[in-house]
Chains A and B, each alone.
Chain A
């Protein structure tokens, strides 16, 4: 990362940039208010997981779900699970939450909303349990900082590679091989079924479709394997997974507890592409981002996806608008600029004249709007054909655009994109491609200064102007109506449609969630004196 490459090259009007940010903040505000005043089943389960609850019944239903569902059925979730659960834990003399859950499953627990001194006792006990969980996340963050110092932090752009076998025990050697071949970031793609599961599966898993289930044990196994490989290679290899779908808050907690380094976590992706209810998504998202902020996890947003359904030229400004919204939601939840891995993509039709200049304009615009963000740049997918030779060339141009515009995280292009999940040789050839471009170009970003008033600069200014126009509309109409109207990704998603709405609950006065209290009141990046969890 070089500061000289991030100087002002496009001559953007700073007042227009400020206006865009103010509009994004105003558009985001009602949604943030919604998140502050509501909870969801997954937020409540996340508290239980944070305090160390794991495991599942014989049928695979996690104990976190067993308890949360019982509290919801008996006393409702509007006051949160904390008071009823820690009250029942004390009253029943249970050793821990897991014993409580087993008793709940046997039908032997009557939850109540404690009052008076009992409420105070439950509140204190839940508070201590949440504090211990947050402290575990803090220690994991400190451990990462130490490993980065001791082992070494690779220079950007980081090469980001995906493994997706469905079997954690196949993923591990593939991930280690990819790291040895040059990957700085390993993403374990989730099983496509997982985003719509309203629970997090348990244990090490070997059966997934087009990916591997995100589970706490899978996280632990992969992080441990990559720690070994990191030491072997002398550079810290980052691990990525997905805090998205119906269990976003819980998966964020598990990622924090198991020292994952990056998480896919977009503010609108689940709504648009998975038809998850918009309210559910925004509430879950805020909690998950607060956890990510605390855990020092870099989020990756999903704007690249819009360009797979919408046209990459016509819809370029929707990417910017979504990035500004993601930035606002991220900042509000406590994420630092260095944790905002805003996404975008190289998806312009290559048969279009000047397509590469347009790509450079878009990529440079994003770079300048978010100079401190670890931008994640995604490879061509929509216009990859069965012609692997042409695809290899297009991928090289993508890598070139990434290097010229100083992108931070490059998901490297696969010439067999759209044909099959990458073969070993596809990945190896892709790494050879990006290595060549990186080595050949060096710090080319320093020399890439678009001519003032030229094609690239003018295109960037136009996209910014269109973004401000769209933000004005979104701010005036409201974000939820804009989503309902198909503004992003051309897909219409009404606020009361989609999956997961039943799990949204308005908080009652006296709602108690000790995790939220800590996350809402403390600086997530404050310096803490702590001992590490042994690695």
Chain B
């Protein structure tokens, strides 16, 4: 990631190596953006001035408040349009790494597992902690699947144990051991008070404690995978897991990753 230092005026000599861009409203370089927010004050001229002040501090210059809506006696909602003064040197922006493994079909994944492992690959999945939202884990595990793709239960060479909702971490560790799990999939949807981060860390720590001599995922301990819509602020290393999957992840992406991570070099 590049740093967000404000870009200073660049002498023309360097201009040919730079590709400066700004947001596009309806003209190249107009820098127009829209934002909406609520201020905890009653609607009125003073509230509108406060909204403009915020917009100015956010770098919108000029800014215009196009919509003001009182929400009860104590709050006001604003929609603001404005021109941002920030510049982006697109040439200096590196594309984040894409998927580091090939996307396999169910048939291909099954073949790799059969050839490379010689037995079904065991996946234990759960929603841990107080999270009762099984939508994510079910979308990945249930035969029904997600986005037109069948879930992991559909893969002949995967043995799936879906423990469902509100599973205690200790219960998950115990089950993973009992099932000889190759991979543990944990879904976390509830984000209030950062429950998803707390739970994922707790889960990872429990597995690392349970397998103190493990060398790596698949070598002495199961592969640890978490998924959920709001893990975009952290890295896998922050949580102590091997991989994070975000919103819109499909079962095939997860299956392909499991094969890639647990059977490296196989099926290429």
Where the two chains meet, the residues of A that have a C-beta atom closer than 8 Å to any C-beta of B are 166, 177, 180-181, 191-193, 195-196, 209-210, 273-275, 308-311, 382, 386, 418-421, 423-425, 428-429, 490-491
Closest to B75 in A: A424
Find out whether the CB atom of A210 lies under 8 angstroms from the CB atom of B77.
no
Complex Cα spacing A309 to B191, Å: 21
Complex Cα spacing A193 to B139, Å: 22
Find out whether the CB atom of B71 lies under 8 angstroms from the CB atom of A424.
yes
Indicate with 1 or 0, residue by residue over B240-252, a CB within 8 angstroms of chain A CB atoms.
0000000100000
Interface centre among A166, A191, A275, A382 (most CB of B within 10 A): A275
Find out whether the CB atom of B192 lies under 8 angstroms from the CB atom of A309.
no
Find out whether the CB atom of B164 lies under 8 angstroms from the CB atom of A275.
yes
Complex Cα spacing A434 to B32, Å: 30
A490 touches which of B36, B129, B130, B144 (Cβ 8 Å): B144
Find out whether the CB atom of B190 lies under 8 angstroms from the CB atom of A210.
yes
Q: Chain A interface mostly helix, strand, loop or mixed?
A: loop
Find out whether the CB atom of A192 lies under 8 angstroms from the CB atom of B138.
no
Find out whether the CB atom of A192 lies under 8 angstroms from the CB atom of B131.
yes
Find out whether the CB atom of A192 lies under 8 angstroms from the CB atom of B130.
yes
Complex Cα spacing A362 to B38, Å: 38
Find out whether the CB atom of A274 lies under 8 angstroms from the CB atom of B142.
no
Find out whether the CB atom of B71 lies under 8 angstroms from the CB atom of A311.
no
| Chain B contacts for A273, CB-based, 8 A | 132, 134, 165
B229 interface residue per 8 A CB criterion = yes
Q: How far is the CB of A192 from chain B (nearest CB, A)?
A: 4
Find out whether the CB atom of A209 lies under 8 angstroms from the CB atom of B193.
yes
Closest to A196 in B: B166
Find out whether the CB atom of B229 lies under 8 angstroms from the CB atom of A425.
no
Complex Cα spacing A181 to B70, Å: 11
Can you list 26 A-B contacts with CB-CB less than 8 angstroms, sorted by A residue number? A166-B192, A177-B72, A181-B72, A191-B130, A192-B132, A192-B166, A193-B132, A209-B131, A209-B195, A210-B190, A210-B195, A274-B132, A309-B134, A309-B142, A309-B144, A386-B247, A418-B229, A419-B229, A421-B192, A423-B38, A424-B75, A424-B77, A425-B38, A425-B77, A428-B77, A491-B142
A180 touches which of B72, B132, B138, B247 (Cβ 8 Å): B72
| Chain B contacts for A195, CB-based, 8 A | 132, 166
Q: How far is the CB of B211 from chain A (nearest CB, A)?
A: 27
| Chain B contacts for A192, CB-based, 8 A | 130-133, 166, 190
Closest to B77 in A: A425
Complex Cα spacing A230 to B133, Å: 33
Using A193-B130, A209-B192 as known contacts, say yes or no to A491 and B138 having CB atoms under 8 A apart: yes
Complex Cα spacing A490 to B250, Å: 18
Q: Chain B interface mostly helix, strand, loop or mixed?
A: loop
Where the two chains meet, the residues of B that have a C-beta atom closer than 8 Å to any C-beta of A are 36-38, 69, 71-72, 75, 77, 129-135, 138-139, 142-144, 164-166, 190-193, 195, 229, 247
Find out whether the CB atom of B142 lies under 8 angstroms from the CB atom of A490.
yes
Interface centre among B131, B164, B195 (most CB of A within 10 A): B164
Using A192-B131, A209-B130, A273-B132 as known contacts, say yes or no to A420 and B166 having CB atoms under 8 A apart: no
| Chain B contacts for A275, CB-based, 8 A | 164-165
| Chain A contacts for B38, CB-based, 8 A | 423-425
Q: How far is the CB of B90 from chain A (nearest CB, A)?
A: 23
Closest to A305 in B: B135
Closest to A177 in B: B72
| Chain B contacts for A429, CB-based, 8 A | 77
| Chain A contacts for B36, CB-based, 8 A | 425
| Chain B contacts for A428, CB-based, 8 A | 69, 71, 77
Across the A-B interface, give the 4 residue pairs with the lowest CB-CB distance, nearest first.
A193-B130, A275-B164, A192-B132, A210-B190
| Chain A contacts for B139, CB-based, 8 A | 309
Find out whether the CB atom of B130 lies under 8 angstroms from the CB atom of A311.
no
Complex Cα spacing A209 to B128, Å: 13
Interface centre among B75, B192, B193 (most CB of A within 10 A): B192
Find out whether the CB atom of A181 lies under 8 angstroms from the CB atom of B191.
no
Find out whether the CB atom of B144 lies under 8 angstroms from the CB atom of A310.
yes
Q: How far is the CB of A113 from chain B (nearest CB, A)?
A: 36
Q: How far is the CB of B170 from chain A (nearest CB, A)?
A: 15
A311 touches which of B75, B77, B134, B144 (Cβ 8 Å): B144
Closest to B166 in A: A196
Q: Other than A191-B130, A310-B144, A419-B229, give 7 A-B pairs with Cβ distance below 8 A.
A: A166-B192, A166-B193, A209-B193, A273-B132, A274-B166, A275-B164, A428-B77
| Chain A contacts for B195, CB-based, 8 A | 209-210
Q: How far is the CB of A17 from chain B (nearest CB, A)?
A: 29
Complex Cα spacing A373 to B122, Å: 46
Interface centre among B131, B190, B195 (most CB of A within 10 A): B190
Closest to B69 in A: A428
Find out whether the CB atom of B142 lies under 8 angstroms from the CB atom of A308.
no
Interface centre among B37, B130, B193, B247 (most CB of A within 10 A): B130
Closest to A419 in B: B229
Find out whether the CB atom of A420 lies under 8 angstroms from the CB atom of B75.
no
Find out whether the CB atom of B69 lies under 8 angstroms from the CB atom of A420.
no
| Chain A contacts for B77, CB-based, 8 A | 424-425, 428-429
Closest to A207 in B: B193
Complex Cα spacing A210 to B195, Å: 10
Complex Cα spacing A193 to B167, Å: 10
B190 touches which of A196, A209, A308 (Cβ 8 Å): A209
Find out whether the CB atom of A425 lies under 8 angstroms from the CB atom of B71.
yes
| Chain A contacts for B135, CB-based, 8 A | 308-309, 382
Complex Cα spacing A274 to B131, Å: 10
Find out whether the CB atom of A309 lies under 8 angstroms from the CB atom of B138.
yes
Find out whether the CB atom of B192 lies under 8 angstroms from the CB atom of A274.
no
Closest to B38 in A: A425
